[in-house]
Structure 1
Amino acid sequence: MTGTTIGVEEEFHLVDPATGALAASSQVADAAVLGQAGTHVQPEISTTQLETATGICRTLADVRAALVETRAEAVAAAQTDGLTVLAASTHPFSAPEDLRLTDAPRYRVMVQRWAALAQSQDICGTHVHVGVDDLDTAVRVMDRARPWLPVLLAMTGSSPFHDRADTGYESWRTVWWSRWPVSGPPEPLGDAAGYTDVVGRLVGAGLVPDGSQLYWDLRPSTHVPTLEFRMGDVCTDLDDVVLHAALCRSLVSVLAAQDGEAPVIRPELLRAARWKAARAGLTGELLDPATGELVPASTAVRALLQLLGPDLESRGELAEVTGLAEQLLARGTSSARQRQVLTRTGDPGAVVRDLLAVGGTAP
Structure 2
Amino acid sequence: MEPTACRPRAEVGATVGVEEEFHLVDPATLALTPSPELVAAAVRHELGDRVHPEITTTQLETATGVCRSLDELRAELTAARAQARAAATGAGVLLLAASTHPFAGWREQVITPDPRYEAMVDRWAALAVRQDIAGCHVHVGVPDVGTAVAVLDRARPYLPLLLAMTGSSPFHDGADTGYESYRTLWWGRWPHTGIPEPLGTAAGYREVVDGLVAAGVVGDASHLYWDVRPSSHLPTVEFRLADVCTELDDVVLHAALVRSLVRVLAARAEREEPVPRPRRELLRAARWRAARDGLGGQLFDPLAGGLVDARAAVEGLLAELADDLADRGEEDEVRNLVQQLFGRGTSAARQRAAWQRTADLRQVAASVVLGGAARD
Would you say same fold, with TM above 0.5?
A: yes
Offset, 1:187? 0.5
Indicate the SS of the match to 1:231. Answer: strand
Q: Percent identity?
A: 61
- Answering whether residue 297 of structure 2 is matched by residue 297 of structure 1, we say no
Residue 59 to residue 142, structure 1, CA distance change in 2 (3 Å)? same
Alpha-carbon distance in 2 for matches of 1:361, 1:322:
19
Deviation string, structure 1 residues 15-66 (Cα, Å, up to 9, x no partner): 1112211110101110010001221111000100000000000111111110
Match of 2:130 among 120, 131, 136: 120
Q: Compute the TM-score of the two structures, normalised by the length of structure 1.
A: 0.97
> Paired residue for 2:278, among 240, 248, 265?
265
Q: Map 1:193-272 onto structure 2 (within 5 A).
A: 193-258=203-268, 259-272=272-285
Deviation at 1:362, TM superposition (A): 9.2
Change (3 A) 1:361 1:89: farther
Residue 176 of structure 1 and its aligned partner are, at CA, apart by 0.2
Q: What secondary structure is seen at the aligned counterpart in 2 of 1:219?
A: strand
Tell me which amino acid in the other structure corresponds to 2:329: G
Q: How many Å apart are 1:207 and its aligned residue?
A: 1.3
Deviation at 1:291, TM superposition (A): 2.6
2:87 is the alignment partner of 1:74: no
**Unmatched runs of 5 consecutive residues or more in structure 1:** none
Distance 2:82 2:340 in 1: 25
Relative distance call for 1:289 and 1:272 in structure 2 (3 A) is closer
Query: Partners of 1:221 and 1:250 in 2: how far apart?
Result: 18
- The letter of the residue matching 2:42 is A
What is the 5 A alignment of 1:87-166? 87-166=97-176
Which of residues 325, 334, 342 in structure 1 aligns to 2:338? 325
After TM superposition, give the deviation of residue 351 of structure 1 in Å. 1.8
Shifted more, 91-100 versus 65-74: the winner is 91-100
Aligned to 1:315: 328
List structure 1 runs of 4+ shifted beyond 6 angstroms.
none
CA gap 1:92/1:33 in 2 versus in 1, 3 angstroms = same
The one-letter code matched in structure 2 to 1:137 is T
Q: How many residues align?
A: 363
- Could you report, residue by residue, the CA deviation over 1:139-159 in whole angstroms, capped at 9, with x for unpaired residues? 001000000000000000000
Matched, 1:274 2:284: no
Distance 1:160 1:358, change over 3 A: farther
User: Please, which moves more after superposition, 107-116 or 346-355?
Assistant: 346-355
Q: Secondary structure at the match of 1:230?
A: strand
Q: Is the Cα–Cα contact under 8 Å of residues 75 and 361 in structure 1 kept in the other structure?
A: no
1:43 aligns with 2:53: yes
State the Cα distance separating 1:357 from its structure 2 match.
Answer: 5.3
Paired with 2:181 and 2:82, the residues of 1 have a C-alpha distance of 25
* Deviation per residue, 1:254-293 (Å, 9 max, x gap): 0000022200100000000000000110112112355332
CA distance in 2, matches of 1:233, 1:242: 13
Contact 1:127 1:232 in 2 (8 A): yes
Partner in structure 1 of residue 348 of structure 2: 335
Equivalent-residue separation in structure 1 for 2:188 and 2:318 (angstroms)? 28
Deviations 1:203-241 (A, max 9, x none): 112211111101000000011100000000000000100
Q: TM-score, structure 2 length as denominator?
A: 0.94
Letter in 1 for 2:69: T
